[in-house]
Structure 1
Amino acid sequence: MVRGPMSTNAAWALIRPGCAGPPSPASGRRTARRLFCFFFVVLGLGVSIRCIPAALVAPEPTPIVYDRNGAFVTQIGAHADYGYWPLRAVPERVALATLALEDRRFFSHPGVDPRAVLRAAWRNLFGRGRREGASTIAMQVAHMQTRAPRSFAAKILEAATALALIARHGHEAVLAHYLRLAPYGNGSHGVAHAARFYFDKPAEDLSLAEIALLAAVPQAPGRMNLFRERGLASARTRAKQALAYLREHGLVDTTQVALAERQLATLRPVGAARRLDALHLALRYDALIREGAIAPASPQDPRIHASVDLALQEQVASLTRRYLSLWRGAGARQAAVLAVERGTGAVLADVGSSDYRDSRDGAFDFTRVQRSPGSTLKPFVYALAFERGALRATDILSDIPEGASGVDNADGLFLGPMPPRQALANSRNVPATNLLRRVGLEANFRFLHDLRLHDVEAPAESFGVAMAIGALPTRLERLVAAYGALAEDGVLSDLVFAREQRRRRSIRVMSSDTARLVTSMLADPLARLPSFPRYGPLEYPFAVAVKTGTSQGYRDAWTIAFSRKAIVGVWLGRGDAGAMNRLSGAASAARLAHAVLAHVHGAKPGDLAEDSFPAPDGRVPVEMCLSGGANGGACSETLMEWVKPNERPAAALAAPAPFAAAVGPVALAITTPEHRTHIWRNPEQPETLNRLALKATATPSAQQILWYVDGEPFALAEADATVYWPMRPGTHRIQARLPMRQEGSRVVEITVE
């Protein structure tokens, strides 16, 4: 067989690897003798074909991943070996062009071409030009299946196997298998894969010019690299020979050949070989496919239609690098961002680090690394308390020092009594840990597990109430999915990375009422006062529910924000879990989340949308009083709350709430201790027993009393309950007050020795 204008070195390597340059007369004679010997040995082996293994074997098809707009993302294969897509049927023109260059007498020989062997021997013995091999299509299939090193013995075995392949499977099957295995450069194997990889179309839709160009490549895929100008030029030269052969032998209409020759002059691939800037994303799809979470819909067309938008991915990655550069001086080294489409859960952008090649921990995908979530789990603590009936929107929570519990707030301050809306929006630690304690450690631990935030097997007690403020580690991808349950009316679903993804069944983890109520609290800019000032990075020109988090020692900064359109999750920190210099979630991650979400919405400066989240069904808006007024109980500060009609607010309500009943004046009196009492502590008693009982009366009766010691809130308790204050030396002033009201008892002064 004549292989066409193959380079001297490439042709000689088929017979004797390692040699270079034209052979000497002696080496030419040795080659000729080997070819004659080869011919007769193969004839001898022909009688024992039945004993030769001759299966048609190919690796599994390897998928190509495209983004939601059809842009190439990556392809998945082992050791950069891609392709091997099967063909439903071999397109006629693909077969003709391939045989014109590789094996013109394919259908007239049994797998080994005697004429090609004799001609190659003659030319290698007496010729002075290029050396020739004699490999047929069937012999190439045998070689590609075994990939044995080139040697005379291997050539003999390939030839015998080629005879067996044709005898057992027939010419058509062997040709189809060749077109599945043949190398087309840049890791692509098989014409079906190459057609999609280079021209983004099925092999059946290739033009004659595209077919000829691809048919040229398998002879020397490294030299004829279609992504390089020199390689493309070499492939075009060889493709013209295929077209000329088809025209001369009347195999294709001359008009079509002429058109193909004109097209060939300007033809170039439309595909792209690599996208290293999205390497974390490529590795994400590689893992999902290898784990079986994503599988092509058809082995004949192993494309994966990814949910990501590569243009958005690149823009989010650019924003990540830009904002991270602002905080590197404060010790931040890496950031990760996930952007997810509302309603579908489709991941739009997945940035695992600022840059995979960044020496500062860039190779870690921080969307999948477990870290302390800070306060980002608090909304779920509130959600479970609402679900269990342990909390109502009109209740009053206490943000006061907890003494021996050791719980403090990030700002070191305590804001006293406040409704749940304000406590959650201000991210106060004491109310959250008290709620967790009230509902139960085990119940909260299981609920967070049901939300798929963790899969820890340790007992809940090992985390304690601190699981509400960051003790229970989780991942950004899990956190974003859990917030998706809040955004989607209490239904938890998997994040979706591709149309072909196998997803778990969506499950309801909380009622729509609870999800909407908590969402309204996270979206209320007034409720965030005074901890988070207005018009900062937590406010948007459209409705957004947002929660920040900061882990102990400023090791992690988080923000999760969702609108009617998307959910964005941001993490900022260091790969070595080292501390940053007072970089909180609100001061850092929230700014990046704001930039990403605004970009997703296409928001411009000055834009203001009149949208909002849906209200909880069956609830009515009521204005709750945050501070008592001087004129008949009128409120100077209020928050709007969504209240069930059968719930009576614990705090005073301001008009125009339809059922708001203002509580009348209440007289408070401290009964224990008495004014100017002198108390001596017993130094031999344990500290826990050196306590002073505080009791008061309310006329008429009140629901709760807030105790103040030395002007600071100490405890919120039922009106008739006894409260114990841990005594400390000095003179102290004690007062009982009504939550959210101005009424208070006479100040009682005591001295402790």
Structure 2
Amino acid sequence: MLNAFATGLRLSLTNRYMLQWFSRWHYVLGGGIIYNIWIYHLKKKLILTLIIIVLALLCAAYLVFFSGGGAQQSYQQVRDSYKASEAVLLDRNMEVIHELRIDTKGRRLAWQPLKDISPAVVQAIIHTEDKRFYAHHGVDWRAIASISLKKLTSGTRRGGSTITMQLASIFNDGGFKPKKGRRSFLQKISQIKAALALERQWTKDEILEGYLNLVSYRGELSGIGAAARGLFDKDPSGLTQSQALLLAALVGAPNAAYQAAGERACKLAQGLQWNDSCGQIKILAYNTLSVPYQIRPRTAFAPHAARLLIKNGKQEAVSTLDGELQRLVLDRLDRHLIALKENNVSDGAVLVAENKTGEILAYVGNGGGAYSSAVKVDGIRSERQAGSTLKPFLYELALERGFLTAASILDDSPLRIQTTSGLFIPQNYGKDFKGQVSARTALSSSLNVPAVRVLEIAGLEAFTVQLKVLGFKGLREDAEFYGYSIALGSLDITLFELVNAYRTLANGGMMGDLTLTPQPGPPVTKQILDARAVYIISNILSDRGARSLTFGFDNPLATRFWTAVKTGTSKDMRDNWCVGYSERYTVGVWVGNFSGEPMKDVSGITGAAPLWTEIMNYLHSAAPSNAPAQPSGVMSGSIAFEDDVEPDRSELFIAGTEPVKTQIRLNKEYETPRITYPPSETIISLDPDIGEANQMVVFQYTPQHERLTWTLNGEKLGTQGTPQLWKPKKGSYRLSIVNNEGKNLDTVSFQVR
């Protein structure tokens, strides 16, 4: 109908011009009869055109003013339902520490209040889209009439939609979108109705604010926040006049080439009588629109934590992180990785937790620099070999069960253990052996052979059960899969698990969960380790003197306040750890390569340790850290070592395990003897090229502190001790060792073929 109205009006005007022409020239063209005939037909068409115009206007007036108008969402409803494409992670102080895109269909940043938008943008948008915005009530009838007249007389097509009408179209989800390049009459009437209803419910400033936040500017950039950041890397409040002109030029043609957008912005500047140079505007258009736009996150300090917490369409998540600490740890890790670059170290991770609550204060899954091999990989949740970091839990188990004390002497000497896959020969990091050392020194200095001997005492099965209780989830059901190498850290663990296990030591054996989100009420904890044994382990891990055998007295692990700390390096130098705790915090650091590539010349105190110490120093820069209080059931006593193994000292003991005599000597009474060769299920083949008299099998057991009797298929071999030579014969055999009381201590099966 609106099209008919336009056509009719154009025809009426054309007829009027023709009538004037004929009234002036009718005598020249052919006389009065012809003139009267033309007049009759022209009047008839003019009347018909006027009837059509009147009907169209009446129909439009009825639809607009008498058909009820259409309810619109309130301003507050729109604000409440608005969702940015970026979600934010908040720290414990409700400050934004990370922005994370969660919507791939468009870019919308936080809603911008009108007061926070540059006045130049507001003025430019109103001038180009709706000059009489503050004068009309949703529909600019004067503008529609003027545009319609130009369209009828000159054929020019130009839209007359006000800002309110455009906002109503945005709310209608495309229902008013032109079909085949132009809106139908019913679409136009519906848009007008919606605009009038919107004006009755919203204020002018609310309409303008909504429009600026919802209109598309270029590509996927929707809203003034995304446009300002994506095109100019600015907040809307800081946009200049030239930038405002370019944005206003893009509203009508969001995907225009930079040349066309620049020309339009220049004309707009002239219309506004702004003194912005057209040349500078075109340069701005080229620099801005000839390259891909990009929204650079303003805060991006916790990407891995953000991906863990922002899920299921959340717009924001509150974390336990301390923003200031998170930024510092990320910065220090980046610097540390740069320093270790020549040692072929590319990746690292740091986790900081509060001991009592389990709240995570810093969660840095990897460095943020371009030198990292995989910045998106979360090094806190990735499984890596533990190295020596599990040794404190092994020694705690042996102390708790009374198998040894901190003063017990362990033998750090060459050890060969026969396994089904071959000989297991543990060695220390320095490729040397220290001889007889106390358990305190062995743990604090991270000696490998003594740790294996402790595992022999405590038992492989018992230790793997303890690790499961501590929360290490990567353990296989079959403990024999790891063998004695588990004492040296062959188990794959995560930094998340390791920090929580050490936090259990920091809390005297009480275990709880780590959390990244604030929890209501006090933390739920459970006593899983003996508080007395844990206290002694913490004392050992804080002993600078006991640590000096391997690391020297002055090393990066030493702090000015009380801390307990342990390092670890995995096989082939692929992973380096440093984890420890103070009175209030537990800090874990890992460095290495996610590719599994070995590091070069990185030791326990040159890899992760310096960063651990730096973080601890920051945490306690203004707060002390005191040693834990000695629990009941722990006593101290003076001891001396036989053969001057170590200097005389005062040592800690679980009550009842203190030595009867103050003279400490090597004690193996808790080691259970076992057959080391042949391993169970071994198949021994006779060699026909070697004479039978020269073929012998060596039976061995360990430890050798007492002489045991060998039995083969239930028959004594007639000799005692180890090694034992036996002449092989074809058959199946069961080999055992028996003590003086006739108790069978170990049995293996093998075959000779």
Q: 300, 303, 326: which is aligned to 1:282?
A: 303
Amino acid at match of 2:392: P
User: CA 1:638–1:459 in structure 2 vs 1: closer, same or farther (change >3 Å)?
Assistant: same
Other-structure match for 1:409: 427
Q: Distance in 2 between matches of 1:568 and 1:459?
A: 31
Other-structure match for 1:547: 566
Other-structure match for 2:379: 366
Other-structure match for 1:337: 350
Within the alignment, does 1:317 sit opposite 2:338 as a pair? no
**In 2, are the aligned partners of 1:491 and 1:507 still within 8 Å (CA)?**
yes
**In 1, are the aligned partners of 2:320 and 2:516 still within 8 Å (CA)?**
no
Q: Distance in 2 between matches of 1:44 and 1:453?
A: 75
Greater Cα shift, 500-509 or 337-346: 500-509
Q: Deviations over 1:128-183 (max 9, x none)?
A: 99966514435335436747997545873875765676799995379597687457
User: CA 1:72–1:396 in structure 2 vs 1: closer, same or farther (change >3 Å)?
Assistant: same
SS of alignment partner, residue 284 of structure 1: helix
Other-structure match for 1:580: 599
**In 1, are the aligned partners of 2:565 and 2:578 still within 8 Å (CA)?**
yes
Q: Distance in 1 between matches of 2:576 and 2:215?
A: 51
SS of alignment partner, residue 546 of structure 2: coil
Tell me the number of residue pairs that the alignment of Structure 1 and Structure 2 aligns: 580
Within the alignment, does 1:375 sit opposite 2:380 as a pair? no
SS of alignment partner, residue 453 of structure 1: coil
Other-structure match for 1:464: 483
Within the alignment, does 1:620 sit opposite 2:631 as a pair? no
Q: Distance in 2 between matches of 1:290 and 1:429?
A: 44
Other-structure match for 2:447: 428
Alignment map for 1:360-509 (pairs within 5 Å): 360-388=373-401, 390-400=403-413, 401-404=415-418, 406-411=424-429, 412-436=431-455, 438-455=457-474, 459-497=478-516, 499=518, 505-509=524-528
Q: How big is the shift at 1:345?
A: 4.3
User: CA 1:463–1:68 in structure 2 vs 1: closer, same or farther (change >3 Å)?
Assistant: same
Q: How big is the shift at 1:617?
A: 0.7
Question: Which stretches in structure 1 are left out of the alignment for 5+ residues?
Answer: 1-35, 198-205, 225-230, 242-271, 298-302, 604-608, 630-634, 654-661, 667-680, 698-721, 729-753
User: CA 1:341–1:133 in structure 2 vs 1: closer, same or farther (change >3 Å)?
Assistant: farther
SS of alignment partner, residue 615 of structure 1: coil
Q: Distance in 1 between matches of 2:434 and 2:635?
A: 27
Q: Distance in 1 between matches of 2:453 and 2:152?
A: 94
**In 1, are the aligned partners of 2:471 and 2:501 still within 8 Å (CA)?**
yes
**In 1, are the aligned partners of 2:699 and 2:724 still within 8 Å (CA)?**
no
Q: Distance in 2 between matches of 1:49 and 1:491?
A: 72
Q: Distance in 1 between matches of 2:626 and 2:515?
A: 25
Question: Which stretches in structure 2 are left out of the alignment for 5+ residues?
Answer: 1-52, 231-235, 255-261, 273-293, 668-691, 709-718, 726-753
Amino acid at match of 1:312: L
Q: Distance in 2 between matches of 1:601 and 1:44?
A: 76
Q: Distance in 2 between matches of 1:455 and 1:574?
A: 20
User: CA 1:390–1:690 in structure 2 vs 1: closer, same or farther (change >3 Å)?
Assistant: closer
**In 2, are the aligned partners of 1:691 and 1:726 still within 8 Å (CA)?**
no
User: CA 1:569–1:90 in structure 2 vs 1: closer, same or farther (change >3 Å)?
Assistant: same
**In 2, are the aligned partners of 1:491 and 1:509 still within 8 Å (CA)?**
yes
**In 2, are the aligned partners of 1:312 and 1:349 still within 8 Å (CA)?**
no
User: CA 1:610–1:573 in structure 2 vs 1: closer, same or farther (change >3 Å)?
Assistant: closer
**In 2, are the aligned partners of 1:296 and 1:500 still within 8 Å (CA)?**
no
Q: How big is the shift at 1:523?
A: 0.8
Alignment map for 1:44-193 (pairs within 5 Å): 58=81, 60=83, 63-67=87-91, 72-77=96-101, 78-79=103-104, 81=106, 114-122=141-149, 133-137=160-164, 139-143=166-170, 146=173, 151-153=178-180, 156=183, 162=191, 171-172=200-201, 181=214
Q: How big is the shift at 1:522?
A: 0.9
Greater Cα shift, 538-547 or 146-155: 146-155
**In 2, are the aligned partners of 1:370 and 1:475 still within 8 Å (CA)?**
yes
Amino acid at match of 1:452: G
Alignment map for 1:289-304 (pairs within 5 Å): 289-290=310-311, 296=317
Q: Deviations over 1:235-286 (max 9, x none)?
A: xx99xx9xxxxxxxxxxxxxxxxxxxxxxxxxxxxxx97458x757234313
Q: How big is the shift at 1:313?
A: 3.6
Q: How big is the shift at 1:350?
A: 4.0
Q: 558, 576, 593: which is aligned to 1:557?
A: 576
Q: 552, 557, 563: which is aligned to 1:533?
A: 552
SS of alignment partner, residue 612 of structure 2: helix
SS of alignment partner, residue 584 of structure 1: coil
RMSD (CA atoms):
6.0
Q: Distance in 1 between matches of 2:537 and 2:312?
A: 35
**Identity value in percent:** 25
Q: How big is the shift at 1:547?
A: 0.8
User: CA 1:159–1:565 in structure 2 vs 1: closer, same or farther (change >3 Å)?
Assistant: farther
User: CA 1:504–1:369 in structure 2 vs 1: closer, same or farther (change >3 Å)?
Assistant: farther
Greater Cα shift, 459-468 or 165-174: 165-174
Q: Deviations over 1:27-66 (max 9, x none)?
A: xxxxxxxxx9xx9999599699999999888564654335
Q: Distance in 2 between matches of 1:370 and 1:351?
A: 16
Q: How big is the shift at 1:683?
A: 5.0
Greater Cα shift, 474-483 or 177-186: 177-186
Within the alignment, does 1:688 sit opposite 2:715 as a pair? no
Q: Distance in 2 between matches of 1:442 and 1:141?
A: 71
Other-structure match for 2:14: none
Other-structure match for 1:245: none
Other-structure match for 2:291: none
Greater Cα shift, 474-483 or 42-51: 42-51
**In 1, are the aligned partners of 2:389 and 2:567 still within 8 Å (CA)?**
yes
Q: Give the TM-score normalised by the residue count of structure 2.
A: 0.60
Q: Distance in 2 between matches of 1:692 and 1:485?
A: 33
Q: Deviations over 1:356-402 (max 9, x none)?
A: 42264445343332211211122222334445555544544444414
Amino acid at match of 1:79: T
Q: Which has the larger radius of gyration?
A: 2
Q: Distance in 2 between matches of 1:454 and 1:541?
A: 35
Q: Distance in 1 between matches of 2:161 and 2:493?
A: 62
**In 1, are the aligned partners of 2:138 and 2:162 still within 8 Å (CA)?**
no
**In 1, are the aligned partners of 2:217 and 2:223 still within 8 Å (CA)?**
yes
SS of alignment partner, residue 421 of structure 1: helix
**In 1, are the aligned partners of 2:575 and 2:591 still within 8 Å (CA)?**
yes
User: CA 1:403–1:473 in structure 2 vs 1: closer, same or farther (change >3 Å)?
Assistant: closer
User: CA 1:289–1:156 in structure 2 vs 1: closer, same or farther (change >3 Å)?
Assistant: same
Amino acid at match of 2:631: D
**In 1, are the aligned partners of 2:564 and 2:580 still within 8 Å (CA)?**
yes
Q: Distance in 2 between matches of 1:213 and 1:345?
A: 52
**In 2, are the aligned partners of 1:335 and 1:354 still within 8 Å (CA)?**
yes
Q: Distance in 2 between matches of 1:130 and 1:103?
A: 17
Q: Distance in 1 between matches of 2:176 and 2:489?
A: 58
Q: How big is the shift at 1:304?
A: 9.5
Amino acid at match of 2:636: P
Alignment map for 1:648-687 (pairs within 5 Å): 648-649=658-659, 653=662, 684-687=695-698
User: CA 1:115–1:483 in structure 2 vs 1: closer, same or farther (change >3 Å)?
Assistant: farther
User: CA 1:418–1:107 in structure 2 vs 1: closer, same or farther (change >3 Å)?
Assistant: same
Other-structure match for 2:588: 569
Q: How big is the shift at 1:465?
A: 3.2
SS of alignment partner, residue 585 of structure 1: coil
SS of alignment partner, residue 566 of structure 2: strand
Q: How big is the shift at 1:491?
A: 3.5
